[in-house]
Structure 1
């Protein structure tokens, strides 16, 4: 994927996430690994509802703008998973609330929508999404999250939302969409159980 293609696609993701309430104001950040191996990422402080291709930069390109403050987490995922081409971070109220009210993992079991996650072809399974404590120190978050990644192409930061990834921007978007829906379903089930 070229930079122009990635910038256009990441801007579209940001606007779509904002429209769904998954990226209010300047929250969230998005990246893609380009065909030359470099990383395109959203700049720090860009409003996601008005995200444009010009709000995406290439790391280490001499661009004077600041990349997302959470760039290190994106890079950790790319190092750990060489086939990953995109990392997306959503900040929906539901997943933030779920992260604040759960233990050290969110286990999803028996849901048909699990099949939206790469490598899963049955509802008759379970997937654990690690939940790590929030910190302004991205190295701390990385140290806590990365060793706990299992089958879920995602982790959650408590009070801060989801990080999901895939072999394309579209696959990463599908991962986030499925997990945000599953988070809503989880909280609905908890309410019904009362």
Structure 2
């Protein structure tokens, strides 16, 4: 489920895919359009999807229950695009984390199921060092990618406050996992959001396969430098 907005300063419009429409069959007229500034002003009064003021509201379609979660990415992260998927690998990772926590017990130092952590994998270079636009550069091979995990709810829109809390606790995160459900991923542009979504799916699948082989997601790998490197 995609959503996007133009770069700040160009427009405050937000475009969100409808619910229940196969994405390859969507037409431009099927897209819901709303004003981000208007939504921020009406946030308390328009919490319900049906009460939101849309500039375009296709009469035969339903607005996505993901709408308030997408808006959180736009307002709290100044994202240009937010994507929600029901990736099986994302779901499996949250289940593995849950299993790992149960196996470790509730004592001090026990593994937590509230975040996914992985390091020393080349693909984490696909993520910036921080979700703030001022943050420079991407994560390095030896850095640790951290993705918070929130619990699922019966209704998608009820996830909003938990997603916002995760964003506050993890200001550098570009994604939030929802246990037994999927993942929300955002970026400052469509290109970056798509790239990060694909990178995460790769890492989640890799993590599942690593777990099958008994390989840890966090490892202590010493940096390898060429013999003629000035940093050696």
**Structure 1 residue 193 displacement after superposition:** 0.7
Change (3 A) 1:52 1:91: farther
CA distance in 2 between partners of 1:53 and 1:62 (Å): 11
User: Is the helix fraction higher in 1 or 2?
Assistant: 1
Provide the residue aligned with 1:58 in structure 2: 33
In the superposition, the TM-score normalised over structure 1's length comes to 0.78
In the superposition, the TM-score normalised over structure 2's length comes to 0.66
The unaligned stretches of length 5 or more in structure 2 are 35-53, 98-112, 130-137, 216-232
Equivalent pairs counted in the alignment come to 165
Does residue 123 (structure 1) correspond to residue 154 (structure 2)? The answer is no
**Structure 1 residue 181 displacement after superposition:** 0.1
Provide the residue aligned with 2:116 in structure 1: 106
**Structure 1 residue 160 displacement after superposition:** 1.3
**Structure 1 residue 122 displacement after superposition:** 1.2
CA distance in 2 between partners of 1:149 and 1:30 (Å): 22
The unaligned stretches of length 5 or more in structure 1 are 1-28
1:67 is aligned, of 52, 57, 63, to 63
Larger Cα Rg: Structure 1 or Structure 2?
Answer: 2
Is the contact between residue 32 and residue 56 of structure 2 (CA under 8 Å) also seen in structure 1? no
Per mean C-alpha deviation after superposition, the further-off stretch among 48-57 and 160-169 is 48-57
Is the contact between residue 132 and residue 144 of structure 1 (CA under 8 Å) also seen in structure 2? no
Change (3 A) 1:141 1:121: closer
